[in-house]
Structures are given as structure tokens and as C-alpha cells.
Amino acid sequence: MTPEIAIFARWPEPGKAKTRLIPALGAEGAAKLYARLLELTVREARASGLPFHLRITGDDPVRFRDWLGDDLDVRDQGGGDLGEKLARVPTPCLMIGSDCPGLTAALLREAADALAEHEAVIGPADDGGYWLLALRRPLRGHGVEYAASLSRNHAAARCARSRSAYSARTDRHRHGRRPRRMAGSAGLSDAGVAIIVPVLNEAAAIPALAAHFAKLDPSPEEIVMVDGGSEDDSVALAQEAGWRVITAQRGRALQINAGVAAATAPLVCVVHADSLPPVDMVAVIRETLANQRIALASFTPLITGAKTRWLTSAHNYVKTWYAPLITRPHLFVRGVRLLFGDHAMFFRRKDFLAIGGCTPGDIVMEEADLCVKFAQLGRIRMVPRIVRTSDRRIAAWGPIKANWIYFKVGILWALGLRDRMARDYPDIR
């Protein structure tokens, strides 16, 4: 039986397509590039002579047909994670993405020929990922994650050979073992990272943050700014930077919840508009969260401005430990540590959703509540890498008053006096 090609595709909407390239190309440029790649993929699938269809998300099938051809078979991907979407594809099948510039009709035919002799075939890429996953029949009892395993044989390897940047190495995993990545999905070592920026009237800070984000290497999969009703140019500046912008009810907890819900990447980092994380933050996040025992982590804050606030930075560091010891001693002995907003906290998106996210009513100290929740899932760690954050509060209040406010708000949080916390923590911009 001839296998059918299933092309996984999304509508090329600016801000949602090829998001990792947005810092370099802008949202419009990244979407245009994706559209050209999808056109190439459909063209090569037609040229292969194999039956094929699109499995889409992001828009109505009619628009895909109007764009790519009236005769096109278009089906919805359905809900769930990538594994669930792949599991819905009828076998025998060749499953590919829609953004591989090295794809050719000849490679697709070679993959189909290899599948006639083997249960599964993959097309491994130079970056350690996979551009193709082919299955002869559904796998029972193992799930889609095991579908990329294959025997080391010439016929399967032949499918993977290409001089393009997308398909050069054969897979070296033994039969029955789980590979690092499957069918174009990201493994934890190279999983996509979403940056969430909750914002309210941060026009003064966004240009510097946007310039800094453009230097990140590797790039994040997406940058989502969550606006809480800004009356300045925050939204316009974020859009100009190519960020995805959504709106939410004012309140940092509510804005973070909305941002994580809107994100698509499996790993998430919350960055305040006046903070600058390390340029390799994406790699650090991936490496840290590869340890499944760590549920929540952050960078180490350094408070800077016209001068570096060493005293407050040191206080910020040690209060990670003494704050839970004083306010939640019964939880401290169980491993609870308190991270704060200027730490640039990061976590797995699925874990955040599983614990219910930030407490909606939190005006301040939303991070502390989040730490208590995350402690149910695993360890909390502060990574010894610097995130630079603005000293604007200290400059406005003075160092003694600022540290007193931080301490007092922590005590109020411990006592459950949430209304007092908001009153005693003045907004500074």
C-alpha cells in the first residue's frame, strides 16, 4: 500500500509563524518566509507522485485551498500535543513539517521505498532533529514517541541522505530506544522557549529590552508581551520589535497567566520590562530544565542603573533563603525557596498550567505564591547567571527605604494581608 504524505502546516500569520526568526526578520518577514517554505513543500509533494494532504491549524481550510490549490486535501490537526496529532495520521504515512528548504520529491520517494521494507523510517537533520517520520502501521502500546526508532540499515539511512542542511546524518539509536527528538518536535535539550513580558506603561524600557532580545543566541521561539492597559507607546514599540502582543486585565498575576496560556513553546521565562537576562538565556533555560527534579528556576539578579546597587543585590540574593525561612518555616524545611520578579523566573509551561498558575488576586508577591505552588512538583533553583534589572525603585525610594519596603511586604505576605501589600508597594515607572 502506497504511503500518504501528511504535511503539518499552519497559516502564516505574523507573530505566529517562524517565531524564532522574528528577532532577525520581524513578524511580517518571518511569516513571509514560512509561506514560501510551505509553497515549496506542497510543490515537492506534488512532484513526488505520492498522495498527500495538509494537516492544518490557524485558519479555515478554504483559505489554504484558495492559496495553494482547489484540489488540495486539507484536514484539521485537532487538539492535543504533537504526539496526539501525529497519532491521528492514518498509516502507512510519511509525516513532515512545512519549513524544510532541503526537501525534494526524490527524498520523499526514497522514504516511501524504505518504508516498504521497514516498520519505521526517519530523516535525521544536521541539528540533531528530524525532518521526516514514516510509519508502516500504528504502534500499539508505545505511543508516537517511540515511532522514530529504527534499525541501523542501509535502506533507512539512504532516505536520510541529502547534501542540504536539513538531512545529512543517519540515526544511531538502537532499535526500540527513544531518540532525542521526534519528527520535528523539540526535545528538552533544544525545546522552544517563550519569553513573557508583562507590561504596563513601559515605553521607556521597551527599546532597550527589544535591542537586547535581538542579541539572544539562540533565539527564543516566541516573545509575548502582555499589556495591562498601557496609555503610552508600549504596544506600538513591542509590535515594531516584532513581538506578539496580547492584552489582559491589569495585574501582573493576571498578565502572566494570560501570557503563559497564549504561549505555544514548552518552556517559559517571565522577564520584566526593566530587566536584561543573559544573551544565552535560552540555552541556560534548556540546560537547567533538562533536570526533571527542577520545577522552577531563575537567574541571579544584579540591580543596576547609574551605579550598581551591590547592597540591595546582595539582599535580593539572600532573601531567596531567609524569606521562606521567616515567613513559611514549615515549607522551608521541605525545600521552598522564594524567587521574585526581577529574577526572571522560568519553568515548564505544562507545570505552570497544572498548578493553576499565579493566584489571580495577587497584586504583588505573585512570584512568592507561585514558588509555594511549584515546590509541590520539585526543586526551586537560582542559577548563578546574572540578570540585570533596573534600580529605578531604589533611585526613587533610596536604598534604606527600598529594602525596608521589600522586607515589610514580605511580612505582610506571610500574614496574608494582601490589600496592605499593594498599598505599601508604590508603583514606580
pLDDT, mean of residues 396-400: 68
Q: Answer yes or no: is pLDDT of 325 > 70.
A: no
- Burial of 352-373, coded b for 16+ CB within 10 Å and e otherwise, reads beebebbbeebbbbbbbbbbbb
| 145 phi and psi angles, rounded to 5 deg | -60, -25
Q: Is the pLDDT of residue 283 over 60?
A: yes
pLDDT tens, residue by residue, 88-98: 899 999 999 98
pLDDT of residue 427: 55
pLDDT at 382: 85
Domains in the chain and their CATH numbers? 4-160 (3.90.550.10), 188-423 (3.90.550.10)
pLDDT of residue 251 exceeding 70? yes
Contacts of 157 (CB under 8 A, 6+ apart): 170
Choose between 57 and 327: higher pLDDT.
57
* Local confidence band at 375 (pLDDT 50, 70, 90 cut-offs): confident
Select, from the ranges 94-98, 187-191, 382-386, 399-403, the one with the highest average predicted confidence (pLDDT).
Answer: 94-98
For the cut 60, the answer to whether the pLDDT of residue 182 exceeds it is no
User: Which grid cell is 256?
Assistant: 502572566
